[in-house]
Each structure stands twice: as C-alpha cells, then as structure tokens.
Amino acid sequence: MNGAAGAPFLRVTGPGGDVLPWVLVRAPIVTRAHHARLTNLAREGCRFAGATSYLGFPGAGYRDERDYGLLCEAWLHCFREPDRFLPSSGPRALVSESDFTDPLRVEPSRAGWPLPPQLIADVVHVSGREPWRQEAKNWPLAARCLGRLARETGLRVLVVDAPRDAEAIRGVTMMGPLPWRLLLAVIASARCLLVPAVLDASPRVLAEALCLDVPVVVNRAILGGWQYVNAFTGVFFEEEDDVVAAVEGLGAGRRPRAWFTAHHGPAHAGARVLQLLRPLDASLPDVTHVLLTADRDAPERPVPGRR
C-alpha cells in the first residue's frame, strides 16, 4: 500500500488496481482543498469508510467539527476499546493500514545495505521531527527509556529522525531521517525496535520491523499495533523502569516475520476489508481481497496537528 503521506483519503482498489467506489477517510478533513476533494469524490458516487490512521482520529480532540459517523458507513480501526473513539453506528473491523505492509517488499535479504559504524545499533527507535510526530512517537518517554538502556545495558542505541531540538543523551546516537531502504537496513541489523508510542494508530515501522524478522519492544498503552505483540514477535513495557528488563528478556526463538506473514500483509488485510464492505455493497467484484492506494487526485498537504 503506497498511501500519500498526509492525504486524508485512500482509494480502495481490486487486486489488479481497478478503482472501486469506496474511499477511506484516514484523518481530519481540515484544508479547503481537501474539503473540495471530498465534494468531488461524493459527486463521483464514491462511498466512504473510516480508517483510524492518525492519532486518536475520529475520537474527540482528534477531529474537526465534521460528523464522521454520518460520512463513514463502516470503520477500519486499531483500538482495543473502539467505543471510546468511534461513532456508535456502522460495522467495524480490526484492520490497520500497517496490516497492509508487504513482506515481499520488506524482507531481510533486500535490506542488506553495508552500514557505516554509526548506523549499527542493538536498539533502534524511529522518532519524528514534526511536533505531531513527536507526540505520536512519545518522544519524552522515548528519551528516558533510551538513556536508561544506554546507561544500564551497554547496548548500542540509535535514534533515527530525532527531534531537531532534542537534548543529547549520553550513549545514544541521534541522526536525522534516512532513505526508506537505508532505514530498513538499519532496523534489520538491530536486536530490537523500541516503540514507546501511545498515540500512534498505525505504526508502519513496527510492521516493517516484524517483516525484517526483528522483535519489537512496545508500549503497552499504544493505540494501534498492540495486536502485533505476542510470544512470537516481542514484548510490552510500560515505562522507563521496566524497559531494560523488557529488552534484556527478549531472548531467542522468536519468529516475528513468520508470524506477521501468516496473519497480515496485503492479501490477509485486504480480505478483511472486503469482508467488511461486501455486506454494504453487493456490486463489489468477485475477488479474494482489495488493496488500498493513494488518492492520486488529492492535494498532498501535511496532516494537521492535533486540535
């Protein structure tokens, strides 16, 4: 799935790329251009379902004034407690955008770039420079956990796409964003990926780590991605006081890639989306699954910050 970053719409297509009359709304519609695009999609006869891909959208505090319960006929969501965030009407399915991560594109043998020493680490955390990304990635907790890991374990700790104003942390290497393929190589060489996020609804980097056969250490309170964490894939932690034990307790014998491939990826996720939409639309084609693609005609603007 190649969604345009920041666009609030995704098109639902057949496996061959044929565009179907369904559009996913994945973030608040707040710009004039996106309002106009929504109007045009409705005029074209499109129907809308929601997808929880941005912070706590569509929960209170994470949306604009629009009634998304009226706009969206169904919801793909990431929540343990969907009633806290979703409108009360319409069918739901536990499906995240990150479920569409393709193990055929993200696999260890294709991530084998030669890495300079400063990019080789045992523990990798991927943050973000924009304020809303820092909020989604929970930088304050990340900084405390990374410092604790560096002080108490001797492990090599690396932050990719560190906040611009981040204070130096002793024993932690920080750098800016990396090209996607190089980022995959960095994660593939690590012992684990640290995910302290709470407000991350669809953490694609978490799914990518699993596809690269790298275990994950994840905040138990995370909104989306909690469903990926089990005995085969990684462990939960809650705060800086238990993160060291979580990382050191990972041990051997986990099979994150095998587990993710068996349960997720485009065919599995697309089948669940099709199962959600077909009772609402008998005209959908006789296919095994659908895919999600960027709305190519939509203006590409940054996702708005939390209101």
The most distant pair of C-alpha atoms in the chain lies apart, rounded to whole Å, by 59
Q: In whole angstroms, how large is the CA radius of gyration of the chain?
A: 19
- Looking only at the bridges linking them, the beta strands covering 192-195 and 216-219 are parallel
- For residue 58, whether the previous peptide bond is cis, meaning omega lies within 30 degrees of 0, is yes
Q: Distance between CA atoms of 119 and 286, rounded to whole angstroms?
A: 47
- Looking only at the bridges linking them, the beta strands covering 47-51 and 19-25 are parallel
Residue 4: the pLDDT is 34
- The CATH code that applies to domain 108-261 is 3.40.50.2000
Residue 128: the pLDDT is 87
DSSP state of 100: G
Q: Distance between CA atoms of 31 and 283, rounded to whole angstroms?
A: 32
Residue 157: the pLDDT is 97
Domain limits, the chain: 9-101+265-294, 108-261
pLDDT tens, position by position, for the chain (307 residues)? 333 345 899 999 999 999 999 999 999 999 999 999 999 999 999 999 999 998 899 998 899 999 999 999 999 999 999 999 999 989 999 999 999 999 999 999 877 778 899 899 999 999 988 877 888 899 999 999 999 999 999 999 999 999 988 899 999 999 999 999 999 999 999 999 999 999 988 899 999 999 999 999 999 999 999 999 999 999 999 999 999 999 999 988 899 999 999 999 999 999 999 999 999 999 999 999 999 999 977 555 444 333 3
Residue 5: the pLDDT is 40
Q: ∠ CA(92), CA(197), CA(25), 5° rounding? A: 35
Find the distance separating the first CA and the last CA of the chain, reported in whole Å: 28
Residue 305: the pLDDT is 36
